[in-house]
Structure formats: structure tokens, C-alpha cells
Amino acid sequence: MGHHKLERFAENLTFPNLFQVSYEMLKEEGFALRGKWREYFGNDNPITLELGCGKGDYTIALARIHPDRNYVGVDIKGARLWRGAKTGCEEKMKNVAFVRTRIELIEQFFAPGEVSEIWITFPDPQPKKEFKRLTCERFLNYYKSFLKPHSPVHLKTDSQELHEYTLNEVIAQGGYETEYATADLYATPAEEHPEMPCLREAQMTQTFYERMFLAEGKPITYIKFYVDGRPEAGNGTQE
């Protein structure tokens, strides 16, 4: 293990915006903030999760853009989360937090109806293990347990296979509703479609890996969908 990793693991323990709970403690005591995230943030603003957030750059970027929303980045890699948590502390961001855990345990960190939006950004496409894909039916059922009704899930990925799998084998067969999907996110400038705010949102900030993939000439795919039905017309797309 590299020296920098050890230093980062140690510093992670000092960050008030980074929560790490062992499996044993989670099983015995549960997570103290489950159902109480609004007490932590000190407001009733809607909560957005980024699953598989890596270094947290997307979580941080969205939180800067939307100070009226709360953001929680989730990843299992502590050395990566260090960067996002440290930035959040350095900038004294009150609407950002991070959780170190496996996504399989995510429903133990959030109570029913506590989350208003999910971003899944460049997850491992798991080409040989569909049951580990973050958009497979198993994981969508986890998300349903804590998402508010009619809340969106966004998927950004460079994997055409994961994009097509999610669109054709999960969303279509599961009866979920797609609001927007594209196999090349940046082929259509968002300013040409003001009626699609989700397109602008997906284009306005990029993750570390996204910038790397774009530099390699790989198209970025994007899907916005709902696991519990789209909002009724006139009621807005989300909180």
C-alpha cells in the first residue's frame, strides 16, 4: 500500500463530511443518519446521490452549481473519496457529504423517501457480471427503497454495452419510464433544446474519467429514467 494512501486514510478520519461505518457496526447499530440526513444538512432541501462517485469531483461540481440542493457521494474507495471530502472541507461546503460503503448496502444509509435524485457516473460496466451492474434490477430495487416517488435516475457512461443493456434489458423490460436517452451526449448541444433541462445538466459538468474518455475520442452516453413513474405534467420533474 502506498504511503499516500495511508496518509489519506488517516486524514479521512478527520473529515466531518465523510462517513465510514464498518459492516459489523452497520449490522449491529445501523447508520445514525438514516432518516436524519436533513438534520445533518440543517435544511429540508432535496438530496441527490452520486453512486460510485470516485474522487467526488462530480458531486462537488453539482453542489457548487446548486447550493439549494444537498449532495452525497458514495464510493468504496477511501483513497479516492479523500479528494472530494477534502475539497468540501476546504471550501466549507455545507451541502456536501460522502459515504464510504459498498452500493449493495446503500439502503441501510437512507430511509424511504429520503432521496430525490440519483446520478450513476461511469460505473464499472461489469461485462461478465450483470448482477453487479449498478443499473440491474437488483440495484434498482435498492434505490426504490429510499427514492421519493417520481424521482429521476441518471446514467452517464462511456460503455455502449452498459447503455444498451440499461435501456433495452432493464428499463424497457422492467416497465420503467425513460425521459431522455442518447448514445452520444455531446452530439446535441444543450442550448438547442431548452425544453430538455436534463440535457443541460448532464453536459454542464464532467467527471475526471469523463474528461479522460472524451480526450480518447469515446462518445459519452446518457439516460434519464424513472423507477416509479414520471411526475405528472405541471408538477415539475423533481424537487
Characterize the bridge pairing of strands 152-157 and 117-121.
parallel
The DSSP symbol for 203 reads H
Q: From the candidates 124, 158, 184, 228, give the one annotated as an active-site residue.
A: 124
Grid cell at residue 201 = 445538466
> In this structure, how many other beta carbons lie within 10 angstroms of the beta carbon of residue 25?
11
In angstroms, the CA 200 to CA 220 distance is 14
Could you tell me which of 130, 133, 153 has the C-alpha nearest to residue 143? 153
> Can 124 be counted among the known catalytic residues?
yes
Starting at the edge strand found earlier in the chain, the sheet holding 70-75 runs: 18-20, 96-100, 70-75, 47-51, 117-121, 152-157, 221-226, 177-182
Contact indicator for 121, 64 with CB cutoff of 8 Å? no
Q: At 41, is the secondary structure helix, strand, or coil?
A: helix
- For the annotated catalytic residues, the residue numbers are 124
